[in-house]
Amino acid sequence: MNHSRRKAIKTGGGLLALLLSAGILKPGEALAQADAFSMKTLAEALRAVGAQNPAASNAIVFKAPAIAENGAVVPVAVESKLPGTESITLLVEKNPTPLVASFVIPAGTTGSISTRVKMGQTSDVYALVKAEGKFYMAKQEIKITLGGCGG
């Protein structure tokens, strides 16, 4: 093992210990999130994050293309207008592992995220928002074109 890799491992472990000791990250939550990223179906991923039956909400706004030319880099932005937004999680139903990103939203900040996700094929993309301890969801279909043909 080279020295820079060792330093990165030590730093990462120290950061994890700091987050745990500060109470920002709880041990059970860290393990649950890690398990959720390995789930193979949308229902399994929702259960793993604790969102059994999230309510549909119009207060979750998607900003994503209806058609994406390259499934390797699909831009997705989500804005939650729900008060007390705690987290925003992105799931792609037809990906081999549906959970693609999860963001913790600090108290007092705007519930808004923007990222790029990888999609293997045309699929519904779900935004799961936790606000004031309850889960809400919105979805948008994104079509992926392959080599200029419709997906």
For the chain, domain boundaries: 37-144
Whether the model pTM is above 0.95: no
Phi-psi region of 84 (alpha: psi -120 to 50; beta: other; left: phi over 0): left
Tell me, what amino acid is at 94?
Answer: K
Q: Tell me the pLDDT tens digit for each residue of 38-67.
A: 899 999 999 999 998 999 999 999 999 999
**Cα 103 versus chain centre, distance:** 6
Q: Tell me the pLDDT tens digit for each residue of 70-122.
A: 999 999 999 999 999 999 999 999 999 999 999 999 999 999 999 999 998 99
37-144 is classed CATH 3.30.70.270: no
Q: Are 125 and 91 in contact (CB under 8 A)?
A: yes
Burial class (CB in 10 A: 0-12, 13-18, 19+), 48: middle
Distances (CA, A) of 75 to 86, 100, 111, 112: 22, 13, 17, 14
